[in-house]
Chains A and B, each alone.
Chain A
């Protein structure tokens, strides 16, 4: 079969699963495992290489890079999870609501979402951060607003299709109300694709949050997520310090892990194309 699309269960999916489980573990228990307190200056030498007394070397102040990554991962993953959940729940709820609403309400909501999605998420984030100083709460709000429309679009189109199915027709003929239709008949049938979409959106959120922190506009000191760690050590780039590379690698393994896992799990959910 030259044009076969089906693939056998893949090793890459297992790698993805392992990476995701590993990072979840780190996010939950990493700060307990850290060999040194997160802010403690442990060495006189800055930008020590990997291997020695400090497994991943030391940073620009002589702090232990491993400990800082173990702490930073909790920030990156926790913030991104909450933010993606916020966007996912809002988007799904509004999409479902629009699909079972009268036409004019659906139209209004959809046009509004179209306008929101026309602002690239990084640009939106930059404008918001310039107007209100950056804080964890603001970052959550930015992500919530920036990623809701994409999720809304997918949820709405799924719900509109389901809404036209016969079992929903039957329920409607029974005289069930809109809320019942949405909650009992439509929602359970769109959970799986929405979960896959949530995974992809989580990846976008991690990348956006890290980029903002890398620009110095995301998580603010003394807190540091993985993106901030790359930024604060950027002066070590010229000497090839692991303090720059390791946090960046950590981010990449989180996002790649989720991507590989989702790709092997999902059937044919379309990429929400055109995300910036």
Chain B
């Protein structure tokens, strides 16, 4: 047990170290831009003196590594700087947007995970059957479809033809349940299609992996029914790989949500980040990028831990 804790501690330490490296990469790439923030804020007609004054006020005249330490310190204490585009604290901008993205991601997860597990386990139980082959092909196609096609088709069908939902997807805080559902239906649907396909494929592979083990053959020879073999014998052993699949699948959300928030005008942190790129609003961009990188690392770490805890062979 102690050995396990030590190993987990090591993995978490490694993840923190990676996050530090990632923050350095993000900071230095985004500070390399030709012409700096002070020039951008004051415009082309500013006098050199004014630019120099603002530069020193913003701390831009200091060498890169000092600025990095300042920035990192600010990030850790919850003050990642001031947005260049609208003079608001980055923390405030992110704080208004982040919960909305989390709600979107949360609803998607709640819908997608059970569905993906059901489809994956069902396909594994009937592997080789017609249903399995159809599901396999469908999910294989679905993981290759760009999100904006799914979103476009969803808008065409549900907003333009059927007029069930509005193409704009944001429910006010005091929305009724119906309004809430109709606002979230299309973004969640779009994200779910790809997410379910990915997780179902990985779940199926994990369960089939177990079904090919000798102990399953033994259970079959004993005369256990298919349902019993899968649910009682194979599934408990596949929990680790499945949890791994779910965590890795969820990391897809981080990319998918960018497109979905933009196409549905959803005021989340991903569309905030795209705006930051368009406006070259570096402090905001850096903060958003770190949120996404940290979320990604947490998911990968979680997947890793699930694999370690469930498989003693990996602990050595």
Interface residues of A (CB under 8 A from B): 1-5, 7, 12, 114-116, 118-123, 126-132, 203, 207, 210-211, 214-217, 227, 230, 234, 237-240, 244-245, 248-249, 251-252, 255-256, 258-260, 263, 271, 273-276
Contacts and interface: CB of A to CB of B under 8 A. Distances in A.
Contacts of B137: 12, 260
Contact of A276 (B133, B146, B226, B251): B251
B161 interface: yes
B33 A251 contact: no
A129 B285 CA distance: 11
Contacts of A227: 146, 148
A5 to B, nearest CB: 7
Contacts, number: 171
Interface in B174-228: 201-202, 208, 211-212, 216, 220, 226
A109 B230 CA distance: 41
A216 B271 CA distance: 13
B8 interface: no
A238 B166 CA distance: 11
A207 to B, nearest CB: 5
A115 B300 contact: no
Interface of B: 18-19, 21-22, 25-26, 29-33, 127-128, 133, 137, 140-141, 143-149, 152-153, 155-156, 159-161, 167, 201-202, 208, 211-212, 216, 220, 226, 245, 248, 251-252, 254-255, 258-259, 262-263, 273-274, 276-278, 280, 282, 285-286, 289, 292-293, 296-297, 300, 303
Nearest to A258: B144
A4 B128 contact: yes
A244 B216 CA distance: 50
Given A114-B18, A274-B248, A119 B153 contact: no
Given A118-B293, A121-B255, A240-B161, A252 B149 contact: yes
A249 B149 contact: yes
B147 A120 contact: no
A126 B289 contact: yes
Given A122-B255, A237-B156, 10 more contacts: A2-B226, A127-B26, A211-B148, A214-B146, A215-B262, A244-B152, A245-B153, A252-B145, A259-B143, A273-B248
B303 A274 contact: yes
Contact of A122 (B21, B141, B220, B258): B258
A203 B140 CA distance: 12
Given A3-B208, A115-B22, A214 B274 contact: no
Contact of A248 (B152, B273, B282): B152
Contact of B144 (A207, A230, A276): A207
A123 B292 contact: yes
Nearest to B15: A118
A203 B146 CA distance: 10
Given A118-B297, A126-B273, A256 B144 contact: yes
Nearest to A226: B146
Contacts of B285: 126-127, 130
A260 B145 CA distance: 12
A120 B274 contact: no
A236 B211 CA distance: 50
8 contacts: A3-B128, A119-B22, A132-B32, A237-B156, A248-B148, A252-B144, A255-B144, A276-B255
A238 B127 CA distance: 42
Contacts of A274: 248, 251, 300, 303
A12 B156 CA distance: 28
Given A12-B137, A118-B22, A274-B251, A3 B212 contact: yes
